[in-house]
Chains A and B, each alone.
Chain A
Amino acid sequence: MYKHDVLIIGAGLAGLRAAVEATRLGLDVAVISKVHPVRSHSNAAQGGINAPLTDRGDDWEGHALDTIKGSDYLADQDAVEIMSSEAGDAVIELERMGVIFSRGEDGRLGTRRFGGQLVARTFFVGAITGSAILHVLYEQALKHGLNVYEEWFVTDLIIEDGRCVGVVALDIKTGTLHSIWAKTVIMAAGGAGRVFEPSTNAIICTGDGLALAWRAGVPMMDMEMVQYHPTTLARTGILLSEAARGEGAHLLNSEGDRFMLKYAPQYEELASRDVVSRSEQTEINEGRGIDGNVLLDLRHLGREFIEDRLGYLQEVAVEFLGIDLAEQPVPVRPGVHYIMGGIKTDVDGATVVPGLYAAGECANVSVHGANRLGANSLLDTVVFGRRSAVHAAEYIKSVDAGSGSDEHLNATKARIQSLMDREPNENWAAVRNYMANEMTKGIGVFRDQASMEGAKAAIRNVNERMPNIAIQNKGKVFNTDLIFSLEMEFMADVGNAIVHSALTRKESRGAHFRTDITERDDENWLKHTLAYHDPDNEDGVRVETSPVTITKWEPVKRVY
């Protein structure tokens, strides 16, 4: 039987940071991940990680205010204060572990500018920041001899007497199911971009963690807040980092105008992402786009600069489009990138289910509110990854391990067997592609009642088809057909929570911009939406609201 003090689901930055901390505290820790740790999607982060370093003149309150303003005042300010004030130490610690951040002439860490901020406080490694940090955290995991269940897929959480005491998981390489028991479980299973199409997210970002916690009774908070990144490639959705604009790239419309000067005179191309994406979409909708795109122009930065500081972007542009950024502007458009919403946690990562913690993109603390600032997500993962481990370690002092019974394992075995036994009928890929396209249509950069109702109908259609999804592959070893079908179930739950939360919020705030109600309404909607799993309700969802925590920054109108 597999048994640990702390089991962490996910080996991205949030999961590995939590693991390193828990290991240092002397606990028996294991990480479980459906892909090898270094394949986790954190490796895709290009641009950088924000941190106000107080020892060189920045103040954390400035970063907090930028974050809160970026969030359109939906972030909980107590959580933001924690993130901003712990940021400096978190980044310095990564450097000491071995991250080779770019430096200035003086040999100390250097910065670049990122969106929604006038201060340059984004620390970076070329355009491979996420990969560089993920590999270093993996090195630390190797150093500490961390247990890793690698290429194991979590299918269920084990809940006993209302407490989370482990998981049931499928070993992908052998096709066998196991239970893994733990005194506490930290969910760090990443985002859900694949609920939409196209998206900048990896194929593995299917919202598993969100759905698993949701089924266990934890609400998903502010799920309508889906970030569209302003500079993604058409067709594939692959990202060109905000670092391009941070380093001075311009956005042009078909007439060659830098249109952001009009929409955001002070911040220009570096306004908040929701603002830039809406501006681009407006240009496109009003006929000043080029085949549904605008242009990102880096030519004036010069070849050497581009290759040195933005090498990976150049690689992507050349490999995927055949465009040399030093010679030609590249067509880009808004694309789904990040989910601000997530499993509701407190500032220590705890959820309402005892024993279940959450951190990283799947969690919602909430520090990003209605719109996340670029380079704040990596910060979120390391700050709250660490905190959740510290608090989980406290928690386990007073609890016993679970029963060790085979009941949960057997239930999952039966469920999967019945899935495998279905007669060939509906294919998961067809259902997923339909859902993802409809979600992008309905829950877009701009949305209204009708479009959101359309997405809701699509999700209903998906849920009706779900019981007919059959698995063509009957083998045990590396049966991705089975994995994708299980992921499809998770995605449908996430989609469901998104449409119901979106329909609930009757205002425009941050990423949730309704063309039928265009104003922010602090009087009625300075609130979080909480989507609960409720089989007795229509579509199995119940949406409630809860107040936003304001400490010292009263909401004012957002101008960039």
Chain B
Amino acid sequence: MNSKLKVSRFDPETMGSGQRRWDEFEMDLHPSATVLDALIQIREEVDGTLALRCACRASICGSCGMRVNGEAKLVCKTRIADVTEEGTTIVIEPMGNHGIIKDLVVSLDPFFDKVRQVDPYLQPDEEPEQGEFVVNNDSMENLLTAMNCIMCGACVSDCTVLEVDEAFIGPAALAKAWRFVEDPRDDQRDERLKELNEVEGGIWDCTRCFKCVEVCPKDVAPMDRIMEMRDMAIEAGNRNTSGYRHTESFSKSVKKHGRLDEARLAVESAGYTNIPRLIDLAEIGVKSVLKGKMPPIVPHKADENEKITRIFERVESERNT
């Protein structure tokens, strides 16, 4: 099959940071060839200077994360035929949100620093006197979702929060944290949740954009793991965070008015006693008014407000049973 590839190139020895060059390659490939097969063929037969990482060729080592047509993928499990049609060009770039070392190779140091930040190892208070920990198999199988993570960085590459906030721990490291929070053998659950709840860039910074779920090649669904930890953190009594207050205010507003009271949400999330943050908000409020974007102080009620209130009551009563 005839294929065209456009590959992003960067050589730190001859180019300034932020620069790039596009190289195009046209080649004849086996119908079931992967993007990795194509890149290896380029490297072996056409241009030995092309830098990329790969090892297993079987979607298990996590080396080959790249952006293909704008989306992070493992190129070893991306078949050419699935990302192109006759005549179109496949665009290959390094992953986003990672510094570029050369061509398609990115630095994963910040990625692993964040993994380190969540104390990613089992911390039992004591070990069994003999043999293994005896725990329910379902609770172990539950962990497999996160254990499938191969640390490829695809989720981090496309995470919309990391794009603007480097401090966010990010989807992969948070999924790793979940794996220990949920492990019945670990005795640091409460401490872990407290930390993830309070720390800068913790569980409340995700905007639920769904990108990480979409691009993860191993179905780890980091966003779902993060949402589960939010619930767990609240249940464990961690309420003194803007994240928790945000959720509370959000649902209170929807329950009462059938829609979101944005002004109140901002103030309540900050907390009525958080003076510096309130001053910030006042500034934003003034600017919004000037631009005509200030939400109404008393929100309009939604037309079928009672129905919404009933939904809330039902969910709450089901939760309590």
Contacts and interface: CB of A to CB of B under 8 A. Distances in A.
Interface stretch (A90-98, A155-163, A490-498): A90-98
A131 interface: yes
Given A39-B63, A41-B61, A43-B60, A100 B143 contact: yes
Contacts, number: 156
Contacts of A394: none
A554 interface: no
Contacts of A135: 147, 151
B101 A173 contact: yes
A419 to B, nearest CB: 13
Interface in B157-192: 183, 185
B120 A238 contact: no
A39 B61 contact: yes
A473 B137 contact: no
Report, as a range, how many residues of chain A touch the other chain: 35 or more
A281 B123 CA distance: 50
B271 to A, nearest CB: 35
A79 interface: no
Given A41-B56, A98-B183, A143-B121, A480 B43 contact: yes
B276 interface: no
A473 B59 CA distance: 28
Contacts of B134: 106-108
Nearest to A201: B56
Interface string B50-79: 011111111111110000000000000101
Interface stretch (A59-67, A265-273, A313-321, A438-446): A313-321
B13 A125 contact: no
A478 B318 CA distance: 57
Contacts of B144: 100, 125-126
A440 B124 CA distance: 49
A43 B102 contact: no
A477 B132 contact: no
B147 A38 contact: no
A140 B119 CA distance: 10
A475 interface: yes
A104 interface: yes
A101 B134 CA distance: 11
Nearest to A205: B55
A135 B121 CA distance: 10
A139 B118 CA distance: 11
Contacts of B143: 100
Given A100-B144, A131-B150, A478-B105, A238 B58 contact: yes
B111 to A, nearest CB: 10
A238 B147 contact: no
Interface in A461-489: 471-473, 475-481
A299 interface: no
Contact of B56 (A44, A106, A142): A44
Interface string B14-41: 0000000000000000101000000000
A48 to B, nearest CB: 15
A102 B139 CA distance: 10
A339 to B, nearest CB: 17
Interface string A125-150: 11010011001100110110000000
A312 B53 CA distance: 22
A274 B113 CA distance: 44
B44 interface: yes
Contacts of A102: 137, 140-141
Contact of A321 (B32, B135, B136): B32
Contacts of B115: 142
A416 B49 CA distance: 17
B56 A472 contact: no
Contacts of A480: 43, 51-52
B1 interface: no
A558 interface: no
B115 to A, nearest CB: 8
A478 B51 contact: yes
Most B C-beta atoms less than 10 A away, residue of A105, A204, A319: A319
Contacts of B102: 475, 477-478
B55 A203 contact: yes
A40 B63 CA distance: 10
B205 interface: no
A191 B136 CA distance: 36
23 contacts: A35-B63, A38-B151, A39-B56, A40-B61, A43-B56, A43-B60, A44-B61, A55-B131, A92-B131, A92-B132, A96-B132, A101-B132, A103-B137, A107-B134, A107-B136, A131-B150, A139-B121, A202-B57, A238-B58, A473-B48, A477-B101, A478-B101, A478-B102
Given A39-B56, A55-B130, A125-B144, 20 more contacts: A36-B112, A38-B61, A39-B53, A41-B61, A43-B62, A98-B183, A126-B144, A142-B121, A202-B55, A203-B56, A203-B57, A239-B58, A429-B44, A429-B45, A472-B47, A472-B48, A476-B13, A478-B51, A480-B52, A481-B49
Interface of B: 11-13, 30, 32, 43-45, 47-49, 51-63, 77, 79, 101-103, 105, 108, 112, 115-116, 120-122, 124, 127-128, 130-137, 140-141, 143-144, 147-148, 150-151, 183, 185
